[in-house]
A and B are shown apart, each in its own frame.
Chain A
Amino acid sequence: QKEVEQDPGPLSVPEGAIVSLNCTYSNSAFQYFMWYRQYSRKGPELLMYTYSSGNKEDGRFTAQVDKSSKYISLFIRDSQPSDSATYLCAMSEVGRRALTFGSGTRLQVQP
C-alpha cells in the first residue's frame, strides 16, 4: 500500500463548478501538508501549505486537513479553465526534509 493515495482522475468539470480533490495517507507522523499544481511540461508549484489539522483559505482555494481520518482535501471555488492542471498532494514529518507525494489528480475545467 502506498503511503499517500490520490485518485489520478482525470476529473472533468464545467467552468464555475466547485472542485474537490482529496488524498488519504497512512503515516500518522505527517504534520505538514501541501498542495502543488503542475501545468503540462512544467515543474510543480506550491499552492497551499498547512501545518497539522484545520482549514486554510487563499482566494478561491481552501485546504482542509483531518488528521483523525488521515484525509486532506483541496477545494477550488468558481473553477476556471486556467485551473486545468495536475494537482499533487504532498506531506512531511517534522524534522524530515523530504516530502512524500501523491500520484496527482488531473483536472480539466471545460469552458
Chain B
Amino acid sequence: DVKVTQSSRYLVKRTGEKVFLECVQDMDHENMFWYRQDPGLGLRLIYFSYDVKMKEKGDIPEGYSVSREKKERFSLILESASTNQTSMYLCASFPSNTGELFFGEGSRLTVL
C-alpha cells in the first residue's frame, strides 16, 4: 500500500525558530513536493524535487528551503519561522509515469 509519512502532525514553534518538516515515501518515486494549504487559497507549491539532490522552486519558495539527500526523504526547512508561515504543510510524491500525487496526512504548524 502506498505510503507518504510526515514526521509531525502538529507543531507549535516560536517566531525566529528553525523548523524542520520531514517526509518519507516508500514507493521509490522520483518526484516529491511540498505544498502549503490555507483557507481560501488552496494548495500552493513551495518546492519540489525530481531527483536526489535536485530541487526546483515552486510558486511561493520565499522563507523556505528543502533538502533531498536520499530518494525516499524530502525535508522542508523554515530557517527563521514567522507567524505568516502558520499553515498546513502537505508532502506528496509521484512516479514519473503517472499524474497521481500521493499525499501525506499533513503537518499543521503554528508559529507564535
* Chain A stretch 86-111: residues in CB contact (< 8 A) with chain B: 88, 90, 92, 97-99, 101-104
Q: Which residues of B contact A32 (CB under 8 A)?
A: 99
* In the complex, residue of chain B having the shortest beta-carbon distance to the beta carbon of A42: B105
Contact B4 A88 (CB under 8 A): no
A34-B99, A49-B100 are contacts. A97–B42 as well, Cβ < 8 Å?
Answer: no
* Chain B stretch 29-64: residues in CB contact (< 8 A) with chain A: 31, 33, 35, 40-45, 48, 50, 58
**Count of B interface residues, CB-CB < 8 Å:** 25
Q: How far is the CB of A96 from chain B (nearest CB, A)?
A: 10
B21 within 8 A of A: no
Q: Which residues of A contact B50 (CB under 8 A)?
A: 97
| Interface residues as binary, A62-103 with B (CB distance below 8 Å gives 1, 0 otherwise) | 000000000000000000000000001010100001110111
Interface residues of B (CB under 8 A from A): 4, 31, 33, 35, 40-45, 48, 50, 58, 90, 92, 94, 96, 99-106
Interface residues of A (CB under 8 A from B): 4, 6, 8, 32, 34, 36, 41-46, 49, 88, 90, 92, 97-99, 101-104
Q: List 15 A-B contacts (CB under 8 A).
A: A4-B42, A41-B105, A43-B4, A43-B103, A44-B90, A46-B101, A46-B102, A97-B31, A97-B94, A98-B33, A98-B48, A99-B45, A101-B35, A101-B42, A101-B43
